[in-house]
Amino acid sequence: MASDPARSELDLVAAALQRLRPGLDDGVAARLRGADWSAGRVEEGGQFHRVLVLEDVGVLRMTRVHEAGAAPAARWTPERDPAVHLPRRLALLDGLAAVLAEAGVRWSLPTALSAVVEDGPGAAVLQRYVPGFPHPPHEGDPAVLRGVLADLAAVDVADPRVAPHLGRPFTFRGPWTPERAAHVAGLPARLAPRLGAWPGDALGHAGDETAAGEAAVRLRADAWGESVTALTGVVSAWTREPPVPPALVHGDLAGHNMRWRVVPAAATPDAEVPDAPVRWELAGVLDWDLACAWDPALNVAYLGLWHGEDLVEAIAADPAEARRARVWLGAMALETLDDAGARDVLVGGLAESSWRRLLRKTLPRVGRALAAAAA
């Protein structure tokens, strides 16, 4: 959802333009000050921020005063307030930009162009515009995606330019508490009046001795609670006692957060040839709000969600990382079910068709995760 900028948003741009960062290139500063910001578009999709985007010029990032979808009178808790975290997140971008440049990485980050300006209970900042557009979903070149993962792996999360500014694991939805796990475990009973048989009951039979078959059995209603407890317990244990050294994890490495450009795969004699081969090249990565030092298999999982879960084994560093990515994908599926359960209560009941569609997508992912955890 996008809209024209309001007067108050243009006033924030004007305030930020008066506080451009020292040492900013004169040409960049002149372009920012001379641009018609009223021609930009305000995009509302972010959980923590709204952005006024002026293509090829810059972006004004504005913190939300409450969570998207919350009641107008609601306010962030201090530990989640994006205005409080904005200076830290901007410092992280500066540190990452320096480290990645030293490593020869060519894609860009939305680093700050101005100081932070206050906006009542919120805050705003001008940032670099990162060109490009999202990669088409459900496809991708494994070699290119492995290169993105290698770029992230090259960052030393103990580097003093990075370490103090990273967030904590489970920042977005919080850790898996017994209460959250119990909420997801109770879904078969709560949905039975609307769905009848739990869809997981049709996915496997007790006589199947394969790992996948055992996982399918554990998706049945009578074993679902045990499966939820097992899966959430595994990822919680991995976070307390990491199975591999923690590495840089973006936190949402997919979709609109990755900006791509299309370049010719090879020179062709006729530029008008239809369906000429092309190569997707990463131009930049946005939205580092959830970046932290965690299991690098999470980056594999995020890329798998967007580009296709069938690519997980092809882009992971090794089979062990691929198995952990499968487990994380299952835990993400449980988070999706937890969110849907909360919305179900809020709106007085999601449609039966919505639940069936969601369960068809998430239950197989949970089953694959259980099989991977048992391997």
Shared domain for 117 and 194, answered yes or no, is no
Predicted confidence (pLDDT) per residue in 155-174, tens digit = 999 999 999 999 999 988 89
Q: What is the pLDDT of residue 272?
A: 54
Within 10 angstroms of residue 72's Cβ, the number of other Cβ atoms is 6
Q: What is the pLDDT of residue 96?
A: 98
Shared domain for 342 and 196, answered yes or no, is yes
Shared domain for 334 and 191, answered yes or no, is yes
Helices (H), 210-318: 211-217, 221-240, 297-307, 312-315
Question: Residue 303: what residue type?
Answer: L
Inside any domain, residue 167:
no
Domain boundary, last residue among 130, 145, 163: 130
Our CA dihedral for 154, 160, 162, 168, rounded to 10 degrees, sits at: 110
Structural domains of the chain, count: 2
Shared domain for 126 and 273, answered yes or no, is no
Residue 141 CA to residue 160 CA, distance in Å, equals 34
Q: Of all residues in the chain, what percent are helix, strand and coil, respectively (each to 5)?
A: 50, 15, 40
Residue 82 CA to residue 91 CA, distance in Å, equals 14
Measured in degrees and rounded to the nearest 5, phi and psi for residue 148 equal: -65, -45
Domain that holds residue 298: 178-374
Contacting residues for 297 by C-beta, under 8 A, at least 6 apart? 244, 316, 321, 322, 324, 325, 327, 328
Within 10 angstroms of residue 213's Cβ, the number of other Cβ atoms is 17
Domain boundary, last residue among 96, 130, 164: 130
Q: What is the pTM of this model?
A: 0.92
Shared domain for 111 and 230, answered yes or no, is no
| Cβ(329)–Cβ(304) below 8 Å | yes
Shared domain for 110 and 237, answered yes or no, is no
Helix H or strand E segment including 119: strand 117-119
Tell whether the model's pLDDT for residue 207 goes beyond 80: no
Shared domain for 334 and 196, answered yes or no, is yes
Shared domain for 250 and 106, answered yes or no, is no
Q: What is the pLDDT of residue 270?
A: 53
Shared domain for 112 and 198, answered yes or no, is no
Predicted confidence (pLDDT) per residue in 10-61, tens digit = 999 999 999 999 999 999 999 999 999 999 999 987 888 999 999 999 999 9
Inside any domain, residue 333:
yes
What are the beta bridge partners of residue 59?
53, 127
Inside any domain, residue 138:
no
Predicted confidence (pLDDT) per residue in 62-113, tens digit = 999 877 666 666 778 888 899 999 999 999 999 999 999 999 999 999 999 9
Shared domain for 214 and 350, answered yes or no, is yes
Inside any domain, residue 219:
yes
Q: Which two tokens stand for residue 162?
A: 């990075």
Cα–Cα distance list, 238 to 98, 141, 171, 200, 327 (Å): 30, 29, 16, 27, 11
Inside any domain, residue 143:
no
User: Average pLDDT, stretch 141-147?
Assistant: 97
Inside any domain, residue 218:
yes
Domain boundary, last residue among 130, 158, 190: 130
